[in-house]
Amino acid sequence: MKLVLLGPPGAGKGTQAAELCKEYNLLHMSTGDLLREAVKNNTAQGIKAKSYMDKGDLVPDEIVAAMITDKLKAVDISAGFMLDGFPRTKRQAEILDAALIALNMPLDMVVYFATTEETILSRLTGRRICRSCGRIFHVTNIPSKKEGICDGCGGELYQRNDDKAETIKNRINVYNSQTKELIDYYKQKNLLRKVSGDMDVNELFIVLKDTFKKSGLL
């Protein structure tokens, strides 16, 4: 399966991608995770990216696209992959198309997580992430057994800087002005399948698996 998960921040793309990739042995590629790693390691790309990320703006296409195309070439994607948070602009989508054509691995499907603003706000403000393994929790929807501690590895849970109220507003505006047009881009290529990002995590997981089965991807 070669998939893109498309949708606003807080739609649940990262949570679903982690579970689906575990179940189907796919490679999970999240540009947000790659960028946060680069920032943490103070790489040249990370240093450039940080100021954009702190404001909730998009990191320039060249930086993000290079990260993904390098990764696609460096890792074994023969079992399939799931792109989460990339592409986010038409330019990135075109770069991705070209890279996948060169690898002879065209996309099978783009899953669009249609999500209301109410859900986005509640998901992002309540999201907590494990500092050690990156597992995603939510203070009410997916609480950890012990407050502030990851169930999986015992790491410390933290709130992303860009999950604070002021930055969230900008991220939603950026999504509406720069990323939303990808819905039409992929609709025209007949790759788009829409699911509801408002659904509960477990329900949506079942819907996604069903969508893949019905489309002959499983």
Rounded Cα distance between 30 and 173, Å, is 21
Interface residue with ligand AMP, options 19, 37, 52, 180 (CB under 6 A):
52
Active site residue 160: yes
CA atoms lying within 13 Å on the CB side of residue 127: 26
Among residues 88, 123, 128, 135, the one annotated as catalytic is 88
By CB under 6 A, residue 64 contacts ligand AMP: yes
By CB under 6 A, residue 59 contacts ligand AMP: yes
By CB under 6 A, residue 53 contacts ligand AMP: yes
The smaller minimum CB distance to ligand AMP, of residues 52 and 205, is found at 52
Least Å from the CB of residue 26 to ligand AMP: 18
Report residue 184: phi and psi, to 5°: -70, -40
Q: Residue 60: count other Cβ atoms within 10 Å of its Cβ.
A: 14
Rounded Cα distance between 5 and 186, Å, is 11
Q: Which stretch binds ligand AMP (CB under 6 A): 39-47, 87-95, 96-104, 190-198?
A: 87-95
Rounded Cα distance between 197 and 175, Å, is 15
Residues carrying an active site annotation: 13, 88, 127, 160, 171
